Amino acid sequence: MDYDVIYIGSGNAAWQGGRFLRKAGLKILIIEESLYGGTCANRGCNSKALLDAPFEIKALTDNFEGVGKSGNFEVDWPALMKFKQKRIANMAPFLDGKFKEYDLDVAHGKGIIVDEHTVKVGDETFTTDKIVIATGLKPVIPDIKGKEYLHDSTDFLDIAELPKHAIIIGAGFVGMEFASILAEAGMTADVIIRGNMALKYFHQPYVQKVIEILKQKNIRFHFNEQVTEVLKDENVIIDNPEERILNVERGLNSDDDLRDPDAKIDNKAYENAFTVNCESGLSITGDYVIAAMGREANVDEIGLENVGLTYTKNGIKVNGHLQTDVPNIYASGDVADTGIAKLVTVAIHHSKYLAKELLGEADEITYPVVPAVAYTIPRIATVGVPAYVAEKSDEYEVHTIRYGKSYSLELKNDTTAEAKVIVDNDLNIVGAEIYAADAENVANMFAFIINKKITLEELDYMIYAFPSSSSVCLYKLHNIHYDL
């Protein structure tokens, strides 16, 4: 065999574990047809974080409107984009250097599985003992008329100028996070949702709080709508898009789905206009259409049929060892259908686990509680047992911690920050839902508490840095301990 393990894909689901296998003496090949590091490094997480940060700061400064704010914080998108592109351009070369440092062989091109022990890249053929598929996910593009006019997340994260009026199809992570950026930038957007809720995996009362903020900033939501086509018209001037859309919408949806009649929307002229039509008759025109309808397994033409492997949009079925139906072929990261959230943090967990598994040092994979964050403005986070489960069970109690009202004078004037903390019948913290500007950090705190089974009594004993959102939130937890 040429290699002990071949990874198809070079993201965190591959190299994070591959380096440990190489250190243990195994010969490793990583195959990548695009940029080293995959989606998160080059077209996803990192790009979004760089572009989101100034808008997060803008929203924080707005908390001090009338109580100290002087002047306006404006985000220069073209300058920000140049900064992002410069930083991201360094990611693939940086990882290429890391692969050399870790003594990992690389092959650039599309990896195609020929048989259980053979992978082809262009004209080269490599043999291996084990294969790990780590090709991740790709954006879902609906098969509708005009689909060629749709932009995916990669396009938006590299756009030179923000659209004046975007139409976003979908309200998951991508749709809602992009809507927040557009809202803070003072742009207009319509979000079209096939179902009756946005961010369906998050605490819906907190999702509704975000939606209400977005509505106040010229973002409209249209629920229970099925997009049927996208049309393009050259040099169209829309004299009054708000009134035209309201006339179409009236009587079609609930009041919550209509535009805010008090919204201030300037008339817009678009050099290129795109109209999105829905089954209900809803018709919306703007200058940029984003497909944010989720992601699906990125396994097209990699030779799964050659080894009898099948898949769904959720990925390739694996067992508790991340092993596919072909014993020496594994799937790692987002492309593995495990039932666990598809996050980069989970992909890293998979990759490190597989290193132990392939060295014969692991039992079945287990997972700690996994915090998930929607990087809307403000953020929403969830970790552990969700509130909707706890509220329907006698095994849990849900306690609301309105810690924003406690620390607003000391910190960021984020008066609405709160958490819902789920405890079991023994008063052990087992879950949390967070709504706050820094929800990601509070979620990490709760992940540590839950995973380490730290009791309320132990938390009460500890001393924390103050002022901080975490210290005040933790202090409020003491009330659960003392009141019961």
The pLDDT score that the predictor gives to residue 234 is 66
Q: What is the pLDDT of residue 475?
A: 87
* Three-state secondary structure of the chain: CCEEEEEECCCHHHHHHHHHHHHCCCCEEEEECCCCCHHHHHCCHHHHHHHHHHHHHHHHHHCCCCCCCCCCCCCCHHHHHHHHHHHHHCHHHHHHHHHHHCCCEEEECCEEEEECCEEEECCEEEEEEEEEECCCEEECCCCCECHHHCECHHHHCCCCCCCCEEEEECCCHHHHHHHHHHHHCCCEEEEECCCCCCCCCCCHHHHHHHHHHHHCCCEEEECCCCEEEEEEEEEEEECCHHHHHHHHHCCCCCHHHCCCCCCCCCCEEEEEEEEEEECCCCEEEECEEEECCCEEECCCCCCHHHHCCCEECCEEECCCCCECCCCCEEECHHHEECCCCCCHHHHHHHHHHHHHHHCCCCCCCCCCCCCEEECCCCEEEEEECCHHHHCCCCCEEEEEECCHHHHCCCCCCCCCCEEEEEEECCCCEEEEEEEECCHHHHHHHHHHHHHCCCCHHHHHHCCCCCCCHHHHHHHHHHHHHHHC
Alpha carbons within 13 A on the beta-carbon side of 168: 31
CA 59 to CA 294: how far, in whole Å?
Answer: 27
Q: Are strands 28-32 and 288-291 parallel, antiparallel or unpaired?
A: unpaired
For 15, 170, 345, 438, 475, the CA distances from 402, given in Å and listed in that order, are: 41, 30, 28, 14, 11
- Which residues 6+ apart lie within 8 Å of 67 measured at CB? 413
How far is residue 350's CA from residue 212's CA, in Å, rounded to a whole number?
A: 37
- Structural domains of the chain in order of their starting residue, each with its CATH number: 3-139+295-358 (3.50.50.60), 147-291 (3.50.50.60), 378-483 (3.30.390.30)
Distance, in Å, from the CA atom of 116 to the CA atom of 129, rounded to the nearest integer, reads: 8
Longest dimension (CA), the chain: 70
| 467: preceding bond cis by omega (within 30 degrees) | yes
219 near 189, Cβ under 8 Å?
Answer: yes
pLDDT the model gives residue 270: 65
What are the per-10-residue average pLDDT scores of the chain (484 residues)?
Answer: 96 97 98 95 95 96 92 95 97 96 97 98 98 97 97 97 97 98 97 97 98 97 98 64 41 39 46 92 97 96 97 96 98 97 97 98 97 98 98 96 82 91 95 97 97 93 90 85 55
Calculate the alpha carbon distances from 165 to 80, 176, 178, 256, 280 in Å.
20, 15, 12, 20, 21
Residue with tokens 């009594």: 457
Please enumerate in sequence order all residues whose Cβ is within 8 A of that of 455, keeping only pairs 6 or more positions apart, or say none: 427, 428
Specify which residues 434 forms β-bridges with. 381, 419
pTM of the model: 0.91
d(C-alpha 241, C-alpha 248), whole Å? 11
